[in-house]
Structure 1
């Protein structure tokens, strides 16, 4: 029997995650579809956004989205993320682009093994400060100390560069407006980065919850990966916006992060870094480009067996075993 509706696009027909727009944030509008474009309608008119070019559509307060629009996003491998005012709260996300479970199986195996988890954590810290001494023998306590000192130094350098008085990172997640301009900008910038990273993780078929440095939260791995880029992307953007005298910190910061994410090819790097961390045997070693092949891995549905074998699905095995 033929399944009704338009069949989804073949995987080979879709744009790769790293070739898409980083994110588009919408609020107070009706979201629908027109052919292969997402439309956003408000009192000012209609904006068309090609669905195949989207990485993540961030849906803020006052948005209404139709079933047809969500179908189009899903068929094109884009991710919808429902967020709060200024994009600083995460509520839910859409489906994954991946057809294979290869990444999430590798992620679960690594996060469940102490030594492998430590290897991945060390590799993440090496990505954050590549010019410092080798991290392969450091404990998590030592790594956290180094990272804390690096972040503190980063804040101080950008405060001096922009002439902004800086005390420390203080904010109330329940009250965006309670922070000073630079802390508001940091919150808005980090939220955008989390949305980008979350979209890439989900699109690739990994789990946002299985973190290596962060743990216990549904977005632990999002925070792990986002931390790789904060010193380069969101921290300088936040200080620049705060120093500009902006009267709309949230909107100006989102636009600045969007421009920086595009100019710095963050999507491409994010895809490559996630694959390197999860698929590279022994994450502490050099990257083997063959392991980063986006088309590698079989997406055929199979049955697991306790001897380690994988059996063909879609057949009845009742006659092959004794009950």
Structure 2
């Protein structure tokens, strides 16, 4: 069966992502192959959602073309995905998820529904259906503080508060540096998943005003079970340089939490049942219309106006 180029790939139905570093990537037949020393590793790019290129990676133009034609996003990132630099995708995909996200973000009622669902995913036992946003934030603050305290107690690490300065990294204590490093890695993974699924990283619901607002929203769903324990465990292993352990521990916690699969499922839950015919992107795409909202694309409308620009009879 021919592949539908307009259908977004689902992380749960494919290999979620492959991280590669210090390799040469080339095209082979209708797929791609990795060359690492004397080792050649074929990659089933048609079932791969995201190929993450780390340091020391060279990829040919033909390999990029093959990957994008098969619906595989390319992400250029730092070592072990610790940074997100750029991304590219070449398919003619539906903008359905982006349109739905934008609609929910701009509609106050739908916006609040998504916010409540986010907090319900983070705190399943908390009923926030009747709570104001201010009350929800207060409850969130208490629970996040308890997460730090529990991790500190588990690993025997002194803990005061979350405190860091982007402009003065060395002034933070070891735990705060480890937390910042771990969260940075988590943001990269979340951003790759968000892009792969056709959402916008900028249209946030709890966070706003940054190009990564939605990345911060999604990452907050998983910090308590991934980056917080990873950071405290890293400090337990090495209080002077916890950052070098943070990456390995993050990979362990991400794998244990089945993070990429859960991001795909949870994003679906956030916007479930909030779509309608206005966000269904058609094969040719719609055209915006100030009277009807949207009209069919791929249609020549020249017969509707005279040469002078006036409506035709």
Relative to the length of structure 1, the TM-score reads 0.76
8 Å Cα contact 2:178/2:231 also seen in 1: yes
Q: Is 2:260 the partner of 1:277?
A: no
Q: Is 2:225 the partner of 1:242?
A: no
What's the secondary structure of 2:196's corresponding residue?
Answer: helix
What's the secondary structure of 1:231's corresponding residue?
Answer: helix
Q: Is 2:134 the partner of 1:141?
A: yes
1:53 positional shift: 5.2
1:156 positional shift: 0.8
Relative to the length of structure 2, the TM-score reads 0.79
Structure-1 residue corresponding to 2:204: 211
CA distance in 2, matches of 1:143, 1:25: 37
* CA RMSD, Structure 1 to Structure 2 (Å): 3.5
Structure-1 residue corresponding to 2:32: 37
Structure-1 residue corresponding to 2:299: 315
CA distance in 1, matches of 2:92, 2:175: 37
8 Å Cα contact 2:83/2:188 also seen in 1: no
CA distance in 2, matches of 1:206, 1:264: 22
8 Å Cα contact 1:86/1:188 also seen in 2: no
Q: How far does the alpha carbon of each residue in 1:213-252 deviate from its partner, in whole angstroms, 9 at most, with x for none?
A: 1111111111111111111222222223332349975564
1:314 positional shift: 2.5
8 Å Cα contact 1:22/1:258 also seen in 2: no
Change beyond 3 A, Cα 1:55–1:300? closer
CA distance in 1, matches of 2:143, 2:94: 37
Write the mapping of 1:136-285 to structure 2, written as runs, cut at 5 A: 136-173=129-166, 180-245=173-238, 249-250=242-243, 252-281=245-274
Task: Select the residue among 72, 77, 96 that pairs with 1:102.
Answer: 96
What's the secondary structure of 2:225's corresponding residue?
Answer: coil
Q: How far does the alpha carbon of each residue in 1:95-123 deviate from its partner, in whole angstroms, 9 at most, with x for none?
A: 27682222111111111122221221122
Change beyond 3 A, Cα 1:108–1:49? same
1:207 positional shift: 0.9
Bigger RCO of structures 1 and 2 (CA < 8 A, at least 6 apart) = 1
What's the secondary structure of 2:85's corresponding residue?
Answer: strand
Give the number of equivalent residue pairs.
301
Structure 1: 5+ residue stretches without partners: 1-7, 282-290
Larger Rg: 2
CA distance in 2, matches of 1:72, 1:247: 45
CA distance in 2, matches of 1:137, 1:158: 31
What's the secondary structure of 2:287's corresponding residue?
Answer: strand
